[in-house]
């Protein structure tokens, strides 16, 4: 049997998404048919729609889906129809990284996320019998229904609102994981966050949970700085007004520098500032998207400082997403304050408003 579904299709790079009715095949083996309720839009979707990673076309993007299981392949053991689920990045489960609890660094992750080819067939999607590529991050969730895999489908408790959950599968676990999973700081240590988008602001929430102090946030968008302070940041630096951000961070920390810094901007100048803000033996996390050459002063590196690249917060989503949801239930991870909702049909407006910095995290609601 096959299913008639709605999806936003990218036919050519750098063109608007077009809403189409596609045919979706049944799930096989370890695949799962999920009816999508919400799908976050991530900057990676926008970069890919302009040519990053060279995905085949036409394609359905989207990698922050949440929904309800409708059907499962024969080999699926842990999920049944009716389960509420959150979709996240895909991983192979058998490489050295997956085997040691680091699926975000799966040796096959790049292929599984960006080849848009399924494990069992090229794609489950067609438009008038012509192939449309799916399987983007093992999901392609800018659609009413998707085929996911058991490995990238995380069961969540029915008590949580599916219409809000999508973005936990990428953006929010990235920022929160950078703090709670990678840095694992001690209470009272200091942190500077560069960029107050969804990754930076989820890092603020995680930093509050971890008891960091001060929590300094740098951005040039004053509305986002206000949001950072509302979420618990102790200091906001307006990079548009402050001539010397690094000096300001040193002033705030009694001329020592911060124990940790996190760059979410992917601007080489700001990554350098994040590094230069560090105290001796401090760690800077670069989680800003990659693809650019970065430079650091070598003498500064000598004093035990380090720079580490991080994707997906080095999260094991099956463990970390339920943890984040528990924090959300307890009022400690109010990620829903950062969401703006759009119907799927208005995906192009959502992308435009995200690109213009007018909204922090757009979430598509499915028909
Ligand atoms: Zn993403
Ligand atoms: Zn792997």
Examine the domain organization and report whether 184 and 275 are in the same domain: yes
Residue 346 covered by a domain: yes
∠ CA 158-164-168 to the nearest 5 degrees?
90
User: What local confidence, expressed as pLDDT, does residue 120 receive?
Assistant: 87
User: Helix, strand, or coil here: 50?
Assistant: coil
Residues 144 and 248 reside in one and the same domain: no
187 with 153, same domain: the answer is no
How many angstroms separate the CA atoms of 338 and 244, rounded? Answer: 28
Distance 318 CA to ligand 2 centre (A): 15
**73 C-alpha to center of ligand 2: Å?**
21
Range of the structural domain that residue 211 is part of:
175-311
CA distance 259 to 7: 45
Read off the pLDDT of residues 234-293 as tens digits, 9 standing for 90 and up. Answer: 999 999 988 899 999 999 999 999 999 999 999 999 999 999 999 999 999 999 777 789
Q: How many CB atoms lie within 10 A of CB 19?
A: 18
Are residue 216 and residue 71 in the same domain, yes or no? no
* Same-domain status, 85 and 140: yes
Report the separation in Å between the CA atom of 183 and the middle of ligand 1, taken as the mean of its atom positions: 20
Q: Say if residue 157 is in the same domain as residue 8.
A: yes
Closest CA to 245 of 228, 282, 270: 270
Centre of ligand 2 to C-alpha 8, Å, is 29
Block residue for tokens 């909702």: 341
The pLDDT of residue 5 is 98
| Residue 288 pLDDT | 74
pLDDT tens figures, 52-92 = 999 999 999 999 999 999 999 999 999 999 999 999 999 99
Q: How many CA atoms lie within 13 A of 27 on its CB side?
A: 27
Q: Which ligand is in closest contact with the Cα of 113? A: 1
Is the residue at 324 inside a domain?
Answer: no
- Three-state DSSP at 105 gives helix
- At 252, is the secondary structure helix, strand, or coil? helix
Number of domains in the chain: 2
Nearest to 308 by CA among 102, 139, 11, 67: 102
Domain CATH for 151: 3.90.180.10
Identify whether 227 is part of a domain.
yes
Q: Are residues 143 and 200 in the same domain?
A: no
Whether residues 89 and 132 fall in one domain: yes
Distance 150 CA to ligand 2 centre (A): 14
Please check whether residue 344 lies inside any domain of the structure: yes
DSSP characters over 220-239: S-HHHHHHHHHTT-SEEEET
Q: Quote the ligand 2 centre to 54 CA distance (angstroms).
A: 21
CATH of the domain at 209: 3.40.50.720
The answer to whether residue 327 sits within a structural domain is no
Query: Could you tell me which residues come within 8 angstroms of residue 109 by beta carbon, excluding any fewer than 6 positions away?
Result: 89, 90, 91, 92, 97, 103
**262 in the same domain as 157:** no
For residue 304, the CA-to-ligand 1 centroid distance in Å is 31
Q: Over its length of 367 residues, how does the chain's per-residue pLDDT go in tens digits?
A: 899 999 999 999 999 999 999 999 999 999 999 999 999 999 999 999 999 999 999 999 999 999 999 999 999 999 999 999 999 999 999 999 999 999 999 999 999 999 999 888 899 999 999 999 999 999 999 999 999 999 999 999 999 999 999 999 999 999 999 999 999 999 999 999 999 999 999 999 999 999 999 999 999 999 999 999 999 999 999 999 888 999 999 999 999 999 999 999 999 999 999 999 999 999 999 997 777 899 988 888 899 999 999 999 999 999 999 999 999 999 999 999 999 999 999 999 999 999 999 999 999 999 8
């Amino acid at each position: 049997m096959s299913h008639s579904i709605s999806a936003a299709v990218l036919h050519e790079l750098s063109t608007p998404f077009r809403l189409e009715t596609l045919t979706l095949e049944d799930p096989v083996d370890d695949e799962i048919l999920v009816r999508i309720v919400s799908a976050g839009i991530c900057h990676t979707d926008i970069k890919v729609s302009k040519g990053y990673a060279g995905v085949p076309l036409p394609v359905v993007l989207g990698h922050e889906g949440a929904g309800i299981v409708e059907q499962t392949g024969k080999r699926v053991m842990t999920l049944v129809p009716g389960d509420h689920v959150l979709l996240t990045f895909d991983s192979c489960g058998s490489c050295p990284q997956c085997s040691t609890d680091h699926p975000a660094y799966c040796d096959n992750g790049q292929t599984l996320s960006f080849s848009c080819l399924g494990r069992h067939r090229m794609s489950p999607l067609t438009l008038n019998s012509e192939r449309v590529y799916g399987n983007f991050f093992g999901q392609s969730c800018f659609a009413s229904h998707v085929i996911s895999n058991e490995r990238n489908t995380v069961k969540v408790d029915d008590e949580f609102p599916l219409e809000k959950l999508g973005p936990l599968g990428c953006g929010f676990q990235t920022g929160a994981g950078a703090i709670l999973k990678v840095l694992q700081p001690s209470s009272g240590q200091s942190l500077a966050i560069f960029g107050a988008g969804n990754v930076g602001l989820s890092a603020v929430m995680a930093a509050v949970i971890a008891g960091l102090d001060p929590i300094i946030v740098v951005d040039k968008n004053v509305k986002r700085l206000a949001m950072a302070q509302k979420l618990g940041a102790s200091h906001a630096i307006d990079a548009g007004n402050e001539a010397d951000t690094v000096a300001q961070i040193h002033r705030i920390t009694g001329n020592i520098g911060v124990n940790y810094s996190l760059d979410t901007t992917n601007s080489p100048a700001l990554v350098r500032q994040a590094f230069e803000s560090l105290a001796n033996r401090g760690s800077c996390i670069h989680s800003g998207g990659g693809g650019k050459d970065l430079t650091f002063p070598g003498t500064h590196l000598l004093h035990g400082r380090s720079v580490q690249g991080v994707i997906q917060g080095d999260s094991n989503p099956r463990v970390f997403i339920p943890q984040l949801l528990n924090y959300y239930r307890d009022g400690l991870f109010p990620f829903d304050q950062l969401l703006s909702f759009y119907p799927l049909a208005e995906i192009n407006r959502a992308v435009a408003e995200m690109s213009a910095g007018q909204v922090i995290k757009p979430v598509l609601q499915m028909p």
